[in-house]
Amino acid sequence: MLNEKTVTQLFESLGLLGVDCVFGCDADLLNPAFHPTVNNEGIRYFQLKHEQSAVHAADGFARATGRPGVVLLTSPSGITNGITGIATAYSDSIPLVIIAGPLHTGPINNDTMQELDIAGITMPITKYTYEISRIKDLDSLLSEALKVAASGRPGPVLIALKASISLNSKKFTLAPIDSNDKINEDIFPKKYSGNRWNNGSKHRENQITPKNIEKVKDMIERARKPVIFIGGGIIVSDSSEELREVVKHARIPVVSSLMGIGAMEANDPLYLGMLGMHGTFAANKAVHHCDLLISIGIRFSDRVTGKISGFSPKSKKIHVDIDSAEINKIVTVDLPITGDAKQFLKAIKSILDYQQIQLNTEIWTNEVIEWKRTVPRFDKSNSILSPQTVIRLLRDSFGKDTIVITDVGQHQIWTAHHYAFSKPRTLITSGGLGTMGFGLPAAIGAAAACPEKPVICVSGDGSFQMNLQELMTVVKYQLPIKLAIMNNGYLGMVRQWQELFYQGRYSAVKMTSPHFVKLAEAYGVAGLSAQTEDQAKHVIRTAFQTNGPVLMEFNVIEEENVYPMVPPNHNNHQAILSR
């Protein structure tokens, strides 16, 4: 346990650096005499029931605000509990600062209580790891860690506090972070860098040069069938406005990854929806037939490409990404550009000949818009209450500023397709790692970050039970989260695969669940249930009008499937549209 002076200095440092919210689990790190929930720096401390949840909550805070989430972890076992949360943030490029300790300082393998090589374990899923043993280093280190986490390609940074930390130094003060400050690479002797990304600014060469921008201009103005493919990098770089401006004047169709949803207005005719395994008919068809694919802030995961050899086979390809390690990693491109998405869009929007582009692409654009308008129906349902209907009812009842958090599974894809997001940072979901149990704790982080905005958590009966203990956290802090559980009695996405590709031979997918309404009431949460569309309308209306948290259970048909779906080892244009 760190004593009161150490913890006080830690929170003072964070407060002076602009941190206003910290997440944690048990209180082993904090001296009982110190109460961070009411500390003088105005930092709110949220104590969750499990370390994985604490990291997910910090993650949800970061996704909702764009600022690094800060989480305190204590013992080595607590840190290993948080590994899934750290890996989730790493996969989706989310800025976190994890403060861990106090940790054992002696040699490893001495059988010391709770001895573990934390730096070694976390190295593959952190951007940087620091180890410090002097409290006087903490001010500079926290400032650097927050900058490293948020700069370039964002990601988690771990600060390991050693058990021998000294308390003899004077009280210190900190200046606010200047985004132009250079990171000192030589201050801290024990620093470990992850090996997958090009992380430090000195390792990135900005390729948004006049020469490359001129090449982009030429390729776009010559194209007859261009498509812009956007990913989470658009949202991370806060470049949605620049993107929308380019699209408005150039009238180039846009598709997105799951992480890019919200960057474009869903109802914009030029936005074709999500690309890939569960992508829309129009998005997959457009990318398959385009002659120029302009990819910005994406990583070409298997969920968007389908069979690599058949991915956008006729197109020239431009790829813009802040991390050069992502370029030409999976899909070979014709014009690679390492750089910030916002800077790139600003550079091209002022030099493109929009009249020429529209003249060249008018036939293509009209054809693609028609694909979206006349898309084959893939949301037919045999349910008395369909999950698609529930998502649309939620959308119609809550405003555009509502933050929607999902867990992972069929409900995640139904939400992506049917909620019609119109603003960035309003969909929060686990993309790269696909972490079940992410939803409820991430919703806690989003609600803490944006208390003025409605927060909905859409989950399934399987995902919800991964971290349902956090209902107690919601009650403790009286967070007005509206939780919507799609109860179909299955691990739905796995069941769907077994139905479609394993001749319906179900194995280990049937769910057993508690009575969710009674469970909610046991925690002190209002519980409501619906079996029909009329009941669902009443439940959602009641939840909307209720102050505080509400759990809504929607009983949907057991064997409802998510469509479209691209079968394994197929091209995206070969999607199954219905059963």
Which helix (H) or strand (E) segment is 46 a member of? strand 44-47
Tokens linked to 559: 């064997």
- Evaluate if residue 169 carries a pLDDT over 50: no
Which CATH number applies to 210-373? 3.40.50.1220
pLDDT band, very low/low/confident/very high, at 265 (cuts 50, 70, 90): very high
Q: Which one is predicted more confidently, 566 or 374? A: 566
Average pLDDT, the chain: 88
The CATH code belonging to domain 4-203 is 3.40.50.970
Q: Do domains 4-203 and 210-373 have the same CATH topology?
A: yes
Locate all alpha helices (DSSP H) within 350-482, ordered by sequence.
Answer: 354-373, 387-397, 410-418, 439-449, 461-464, 471-476
Q: Could you please report the per-residue DSSP string of 281-334?
A: HHHHHHHHH-SEEEEES----HHHHSSGGGSSTT-EEEEEES-GGGTTSSS--S
What is the per-residue pLDDT for 10? 86
- What would the pLDDT profile of 39-87 be if each residue is shown by its tens digit? 556 899 999 999 999 999 999 999 999 999 999 998 888 999 999 999 9
pTM over 0.95: no
Whole-number pLDDT of residue 579: 67
Produce one character per residue of 378-411: b if its CB has 16 or more CB atoms within 10 Å, e if not: bbeeebebbbbbbbbbbbebbeeebbbbbbbbbb
pLDDT at 376 over 70: no
pLDDT level of residue 226 (50, 70, 90 thresholds): very high
Domain boundaries, the chain: 4-203, 210-373, 387-555
Q: Determine the pLDDT at residue 578.
A: 78
Residues 367-385 have a mean pLDDT of 78
| 511-531 mean pLDDT | 97
Residues ≥6 apart with Cβ < 8 Å to 453: 401, 402, 403
Query: How far apart are the C-alpha atoms of 346 and 348, rounded to whole Å?
Result: 6
Q: Where are the beta strands (DSSP E) in 186-315?
A: 191-193, 226-230, 254-256, 271-274, 292-296
Average pLDDT (293-311) is 95
pLDDT bucket at 198, cuts 50 / 70 / 90: very low
DSSP 499-520: HHHSTT---S-B-----HHHHH
Quick one: pLDDT at residue 138?
A: 80
pLDDT one-digit tens code per residue, 470-494: 999 999 999 999 999 999 999 999 9
Q: Is residue 577 within 8 Å of 565, Cβ to Cβ?
A: no
At residue 239, does pLDDT exceed 50?
yes
Two structure tokens written together for 409: 């599974």
Tell me what pLDDT residue 548 has: 95
With cut-offs at 50, 70 and 90, classify the pLDDT of residue 159: very high
**pLDDT on residue 118:** 86
Fold of 387-555: Rossmann fold (3.40.50)
**Cβ–Cβ contacts within 10 Å for residue 366, how many?**
11
Fill in the DSSP letter of residue 75: S
d(CA 90, CA 98): 12
List the one residue out of 84, 127, 75, 78 whose CA is nearest residue 104.
75
Q: State pLDDT tens for residues 398-419.
A: 989 999 999 999 999 999 999 9
